[in-house]
Amino acid sequence: MEFTGIITKTSTQNFEATYQKLKSIIDNNPNLNIMLELDHQANAAKNGLDLRPTRIIVFGNPKLGTPLMQNAQTIGLDLPQKVLVHEDADGTVKVSYNDPLYLKDRHGLSESEEVLSKVVGALDKITSAATEA
């Protein structure tokens, strides 16, 4: 299933391997900072609810995000970047994130093509590496 403004890739690895690889890639990039990790499955379990593995990593690069927020502060609703790792009912592991070009339209960013191009490339590279064995 596809949703407007969301890019989803299928992983060739299991959930934990995909998540740990994604985290390692971000951790080992000197330009990126992990700000938050959220385990939706664990939070659901604390409330007696079942949820397939679902975790999100929130991270950013202030050198890229700040100019976007200077252009349109409302993009702060979607920044820092988030990557969701989730497992379907059939065991397929997927990685999803907001399409930066969708965010451009959503927030009416202007004169930000260079920064957005870097963000698009970085997210594609990070998520592709995380989903490949």
> Is residue 80 a part of any domain in this protein?
yes
The mean pLDDT of the chain is 96
> Is residue 133 a part of any domain in this protein?
no
> Is residue 30 a part of any domain in this protein?
yes
pLDDT at residue 133 is higher than 90: no
| pTM of the shown model | 0.94
C-alpha span between 132 and 90 (Å, rounded): 19
For residue 15, the enclosing domain spans 6-123
> Is residue 118 a part of any domain in this protein?
yes
C-alpha span between 65 and 116 (Å, rounded): 9
> Is residue 132 a part of any domain in this protein?
no
Q: Which helix (H) or strand (E) holds 60?
A: strand 54-60
pLDDT at 2: 79
**Tally of domains within the chain:** 1
Cis peptide bond upstream of 80, omega within 30: yes
> Is residue 114 a part of any domain in this protein?
yes
> Is residue 131 a part of any domain in this protein?
no
pLDDT at 21: 98
**pLDDT bucket at 31, cuts 50 / 70 / 90:** very high
**pLDDT bucket at 121, cuts 50 / 70 / 90:** very high
> Is residue 1 a part of any domain in this protein?
no
pLDDT at 64: 94
Instruction: Find the CATH number of the domain harbouring 78.
Output: 3.30.310.70
pLDDT digits (tens, 9 = 90+) for 84-102: 999 999 999 999 999 999 9
Cβ atoms of residues 57 and 37 within 8 Å? yes
pLDDT digits (tens, 9 = 90+) for 49-88: 999 999 999 999 999 999 999 999 999 999 999 999 999 9
**pLDDT bucket at 111, cuts 50 / 70 / 90:** confident
